[in-house]
Structure 1
Amino acid sequence: MKNRLLRFYLYFILYLSPALAFAQADVPAGARAAALGNASVTLPDLWSLHNNVAGIANLQQAHFGAYVENRFSMRELTTVALLAAIPTAKYGSYGLSFSRFGDELYSQQHAGLGVAHKLGQFSLGAKLDIWQIAAEGYGSQKAMALSVGGQAEIIPDLYFGAYAYNLNQAKLAAFEDERLPTIMKAGLSYRPYHKLLLVAETEKNIDYNATFKAGIEYQLLQNKFILRTGFQSLTNRATFGAGFIARHLLVDYAFGSTTLLGTSHHLSVSYLFSRRQAS
């Protein structure tokens, strides 16, 4: 009975608060990003397909990955995502992403297509996401979100990234002018030496206060084992994590905690295929 009441309260909050109900539409993907406080706008990896699509322009290998996130040990707050990116020698990089959040009472599903191209020290990308939001007893709604991003190496080992999610302010329903969140973020990353990475960024949902995010990544054991930590100012959230690289397999785990809501767990596994041949 207690669990049913808790579920009822949770969904009551979700239905009445767009900030909670649709913030999930732009949750950064990958346990690496999660461990760094989601300060991921400058990172050029597979998960940038979700975090800043410009980052896939820097991939040298075809890459496939899966990501699972659970918030506060509740099955209803679980996200599962699949991503794949393929770089080409002349025509940039292309990626597909799929995700699902929620359960039979409330769920969000998405499919996205992204493309990015590298021009010298600059990388530019764009992505189209199709979202379906469904709530039991209320039906479902679909919306398309257009996002663009860029990354650049300012000076050696100092990088800048910027990303605008849902530029078109996609509408879900006429009631209360319900829309997917529109989010802008920009940040810097710096590698003082090859084992250490520092990242920081500011993110602004146009309807809410800005948040500052930062993280540190340090490589150990001949760059095969990686430790990470980070934080977010708006949610007072501290995060920790680790990564392991075994040839073409990458495994990352992250653990996050807030003072009020509890803990979250993040796991991502990805595989790099053979390096492409130069034309």
Structure 2
Amino acid sequence: MPVGARAAAMGNASVTFPGLWALQNNVAGIGKAENPMAGVYTENRFGMSAFTTVCFLGIYPVTDVGTFGLSMSRFGDELFSRQSLGLGFGHQIGQFSLGAKADLWQVSAHGLGSKKAFSFSVGVQAEVIPDLFFGAYAYNLTQAKVATFQDERLPTIMKAGLAYRPYQKLLLSAETEKDINYPADLKAGIEYKPVEKFALRTGFSAQTSTTTFGAGFLARFLQVDYALGTTTLLGLSHHLSISYTHN
């Protein structure tokens, strides 16, 4: 479940991105953090309240040890909902950043009760050469089971990608994502900064035929990002994230 409006605006081609939202998108990216950060993210898909996600994330770097992270999320309504509580850790070793994350999930359905499941994920990021970045992430390696009926499990997803910064104002990213039960998806995004503290973004996801647009700005220690996604048959999705960096 990728989070952050910056990632959403770039087609969720975010496996190479460091920072706060990496706690959910590729936990290795929190290993590069130099300051504590916290943020909230919300998205609504297709104008339906049942398809609303709300997340809180926080990371705290400890000198010479690494960065610790806490995430909480909720999706759904009173008929069906999915909550998670996660703990992550990232560590920078030279040009590589490594990370691991554990999540406790609760899935609830009206009239059917609730089930809990535990998932474990790992990731890596690296600057291969100056301004060329690589990222890979394996989500739910444990193939956590939600119910014995039809062997229902949380999705197990592998993704890998590259990002390239041809010059300071422009970032290009692309990745492939494979749910073990579905065909692979190709995602790509572009970020352009006409000025240092303001960014324009766009991206797409081939498998879902989703096109996204967005913008973000930095006001001292506060980062605000917004994204709009359009899927041909289903309608619009809105994404908003606000984060704070403590110096």
TM-score, normalisation: structure 2: 0.99
Match of 1:216 in 2: 190
Distance 1:190 1:159 in 2: 6
Deviation at 1:220, TM superposition (A): 2.1
Distance 1:148 1:86 in 2: 18
Residue aligned with 1:129, SS:
strand
2:102 to 124, 128, 133: 128
Matched, 1:148 2:122: yes
Matched, 1:95 2:75: no
Matched, 1:115 2:115: no
Matched, 1:182 2:156: yes
Distance 2:19 2:217 in 1: 15
Match of 2:38 in 1: 64
Distance 1:88 1:239 in 2: 36
Match of 2:147 in 1: 173
Q: Which amino acid aligns with 1:226?
A: A
Distance 1:166 1:172 in 2: 12
Deviation digits for residues 54-103 of structure 1 (CA, Å, limit 9, x no counterpart): 00011111000000000000111000000000111111001000000001
Deviation at 1:224, TM superposition (A): 1.0
Gapped regions of structure 2 (runs ≥ 5):
none
Q: How many residues align?
A: 247
1:253 to 215, 226, 236: 226
Match of 1:105 in 2: 79
Residue aligned with 1:61, SS:
coil
TM-score, normalisation: structure 1: 0.88
Structure with larger Rg:
1
Deviation digits for residues 155-199 of structure 1 (CA, Å, limit 9, x no counterpart): 000010000000010001111000000000000000011111000
Distance 2:232 2:45 in 1: 14
Distance 1:88 1:197 in 2: 29
Bigger proportion of residues as strand? 2
1:233 to 206, 230, 241: 206
Q: Which amino acid aligns with 2:14?
A: S
Deviation digits for residues 230-272 of structure 1 (CA, Å, limit 9, x no counterpart): 0000011000000010010000000000101101000000000
Residue aligned with 2:28, SS:
helix
Distance 2:191 2:19 in 1: 14
Q: Which amino acid aligns with 1:240?
A: F
Structure 1's consecutive aligned runs of 4 or more residues displaced over 6 angstroms after TM superposition are none
Distance 1:141 1:99 in 2: 16
Residue aligned with 2:12, SS:
coil
Deviation digits for residues 90-136 of structure 1 (CA, Å, limit 9, x no counterpart): 11001000000001110000000000100000000000000000000
User: Share of identical aligned residues, percent?
Assistant: 65
Distance 1:185 1:71 in 2: 23
Distance 2:134 2:190 in 1: 16
Q: Which amino acid aligns with 1:255?
A: L
2:174 to 192, 200, 211: 200
RMSD of aligned alpha carbons: 0.5
Distance 2:197 2:148 in 1: 51
Match of 1:160 in 2: 134
Residue aligned with 2:41, SS:
strand
